[in-house]
Amino acid sequence: MEMTFRWYGKEDPVTLEKIRQIPGMKGIVTAIYDIPVGEVWPLDKIQTLKAEIEKHGLELSVIESVPVHEDIKIGLPTREKYIENYKTTIKNLGEAGIPVVCYNFMPVFDWTRSSLDYELEDGSTALIFEEDVIEKMDPLTGELSLPGWDSSYEIEELQTLFDHYKQVDHEKLWENIGYFIKEIMPVAEASGVKMAIHPDDPPFDIFGLPRIITNKENLERFINLYDSPNNGLTMCSGSLGAVPENDFPDMLRYFGKKNRVNFVHARNVKLSGTRSFQESPHLSETGSIDMYEVIRAMKDFDYTGPIRPDHGRMIWGETGKPGYGLYDRALGATYLNGLWEAENKRRKY
């Protein structure tokens, strides 16, 4: 596997100089953050970003993400323009030598939590999802603050989106994602870019909006939309593992042997209900996901692609973007590398 780290650009307090010092670190996961959703990413900006990363002795391993415009998800006539722009961006990423693109198809909201600074027993803070709290929230009141795309919209725009989504149920969303995938995948194949859809986070409907990339059955349905290794998955332990019915190591092994795992997010969560959880340290004993079994599953299909330690706690007084501090994610990367080394040696001897 190739150990990578999320970086939010030059404004990120977690600098490339610091990331490079994490043992075993090889690559960077990032994006271009100043281009409006739906617009083309220019080749020169991609090349400049790549050169900056390589200057620090790292590789640009994954673009996370190229956002999918809501008109595509809803299926509006304007989607044609945005799909063509998406194709051009994929071509430009391929020309720049970017091997993997992570993206999602979640309506309106990206990953969603009820609190960004829940205090754990050890005094650190973490992201948490409490079903009863979320059920009381109304994203259209203007009082809701979530770490997703809601901050990109004014209340009037959100209301318009919700009105459009009244006509989009689960099957309509499947129809729209199928249309999108069949349009972009030939371009991804020709450009040498592996697409890796991220599961819905959390993997169930919220605020009355449908979510479909949620479980083993739906991941199977998704990869069957277009039969190609370029139409692959980001297997995220924290997203899929946020509900007890998802056996993440089994799912990882299953889709890995089908050659559809193009990226891995390693994050642990501690389940506190069927639809509630708190994010925890990567260590298996602190969460509900057995990280050793995750590594074993990856070894079972000889995974050689990128992996990154996903959301971490804020520890040792660190401040910054919740879930994306340096220290706990660095500990996570070291822990994952240790499990990988141990499993390699166990199989060797």
Residue positions annotated with a catalytic role: 198, 236, 265, 310-311, 324
Listing DSSP states for 67-110 in one string gives: PPPHHHHHT-TTHHHHHHHHHHHHHHHHHTT--EEEE---SS--
The tokens for 142 are: 């203007």
Task: Identify which of 220, 221, 226, 224 has the alpha carbon closest to the alpha carbon of residue 186.
Answer: 226
Asked if 177 and 225 touch (Cβ cutoff 8 Å), the reply is yes
Distances (CA, A) of 307 to 61, 101, 239: 10, 13, 15
Listing DSSP states for 270-336 in one string gives: EEEETTEEEEE-SSGGGSSS-HHHHHHHHHHTT--SEEEE----B-TT--SSTT--HHHHHHHHHHH
Pairing verdict, β 2-6 and 27-30 = parallel
